[in-house]
Amino acid sequence: MKVFKFGGASISNYERIKNLPSILENFKDEKVLIVISAMGKMTNALEKVAAAFYEERKEDALSLFQKIKNAHLDLVKYLITLQWKKAGDSLNDFFTEVEWMLHDKPVKDFNYYYDQVVCTGELLSSTLISFYLNEANLPNHWIDVRDLLRTDDTFRDAKIDWEYSQKTVSKKLIPLFEKNNFVITQGFIAGTDENESTTLGREGSDYTAAIFAQLLNADNVTIWKDVNGIMSADPKEFKEAVNLEELSYKEVIEMAYYGAQVIHPKTIKPLQNKLIPLYVKSFLNPASEGTLI
């Protein structure tokens, strides 16, 4: 079993999403859990919706959300040829849930509403991509990660309930691989025992991939990024920056500690627990070696 994570940049527009099948074709005969982030800057856009709602600027919240809806519905038009009606309906179910809330008045903490709104980015992107890949002859099963990963209710920084999540992964996720080699789910988000949505902290999709790797005892994890792996320094600042072929878990934690935007710092621990290798590779240049951690 492998775990792949596609970040926001790798699915930020039509061309980039169109690039996914060529990568996944190579893994058709393997079992892969595919963890998807929200498209491009959607999480930032959803944060603005949550803030407008909380400040009781209802019209702003609704119109900001309308833009997010349009962006996703446009992609349905361009990417999905046969099942566009069904795909649109699935997206609409998520839209409706948010809009219901936006018509209410906030009575709870901001962080609670933040998570209920912001989680939509991953639900939308993963649904769209699941439909698209099914039509691109890459059959897959979509699953709502909130039914798999249970957390406490520390909204915006939720803590995983490892024991409960292990049980649901064994009971609900593993059997899905009997029918499909690819299962698609969301990064960054999870759910509480009261069916509230939670998030794991910004850029948390890497962490989600590592959580699943630990729970599935995966052979390895690949984070697909828009760079050729991890570099020795920021290439925008240092011309002499080179690609690093191999790093230890410890070196990655240190890099994150000193502020390098490499991968989410929480990602390493679950991998280290089970000595699971992590690859960081370029989705623009999948044949290149990338970095092995």
Cα-trace Rg, the chain? 19
Residue from 4, 6, 7, 244 binding Mg ion (CB under 5 A): 7
Question: Applying CB under 6 A, which of residues 10, 12, 43, 192 lies at the interface with ligand ASP?
Answer: 43
Site for ligand ASP in 192-221 (CB under 6 A): 202-205
Q: Which stretch binds ligand ASP (CB under 6 A): 12-20, 35-43, 229-237, 241-249?
A: 35-43
The C-alpha atoms of residue 191 and residue 195 are separated, in whole angstroms, by 6
Is residue 121 near ligand ASP by the rule CB under 6 A? yes
Q: How far is the CB of 7 from ligand ASP (least distance, A)?
A: 6
Q: Are 10 and 205 in contact (CB under 8 A)?
A: no
Site for Mg ion in 33-52 (CB under 5 A): 37
* DSSP conformational letter for 189: E
Name which of Mg ion, ligand ASP, none residue 115 binds, using a CB cut-off of 5 to 8 Å depending on partner kind: none
Q: Which does 141 bind (CB under 5 to 8 A by kind): ligand ASP, Mg ion, none?
A: none
Q: Which is nearer to ligand ASP, 175 or 196 (CB)?
A: 196
Nearer to ligand ASP, 209 or 247 (CB): 209
**Nearest partner of 280 among 208, 224, 214, 196, judged by Cα:** 224
Closer by beta carbon to ligand ASP, 81 or else 261? 261
Which residue type sits at 147? Answer: D
Going through the chain in order, the beta strands assigned E by DSSP cover: 2-6, 32-36, 140-142, 182-186, 189-191, 197-199, 220-225, 278-282, 291-292
Of 3, 4, 6, 8, the one binding Mg ion (CB under 5 A) is 8
Which of ligand ASP, Mg ion, none has residue 121 at its interface (CB below 5 to 8 Å by kind)? ligand ASP
By beta carbon distance, the residue nearest ligand ASP is 205
The residue nearest Mg ion at its CB is: 8
Task: CB nearer to Mg ion: give 223 or 253.
Answer: 223
Tell me how far the alpha carbon of residue 24 is from its chain's centroid.
16
CA proximity to 187, closest of 233, 246, 144: 144
How far is residue 141 from each of residues 130, 156, 268, measured CA to CA in Å? Answer: 7, 27, 27
Choice from 50, 79, 128, 187 touching ligand ASP (CB under 6 A): 187
Cβ distance to ligand ASP smaller for residue 45 or 276: 45
- Among residues 38 and 218, whose Cβ is nearest to ligand ASP? 38
267 in Cβ contact with 279 (< 8 Å): no
* Residue whose C-alpha is closest to residue 251's, from 203, 207, 293: 293
Q: Is 240 exposed, middle or buried (0-12, 13-18, 19+ CB in 10 A)?
A: exposed
- Quote the CA–CA distance of 16 and 20 in Å, as a whole number: 7
Residue 38 interacting partner from Mg ion, ligand ASP, none (CB closer than 5 to 8 Å by kind): ligand ASP
Residue 43 interacting partner from Mg ion, ligand ASP, none (CB closer than 5 to 8 Å by kind):
ligand ASP
Q: Which residues are at the interface with ligand ASP (CB under 6 A)?
A: 7-8, 37-38, 43, 121, 187-188, 202-205
Q: Which residues are at the interface with Mg ion (CB under 5 A)?
A: 7-8, 37
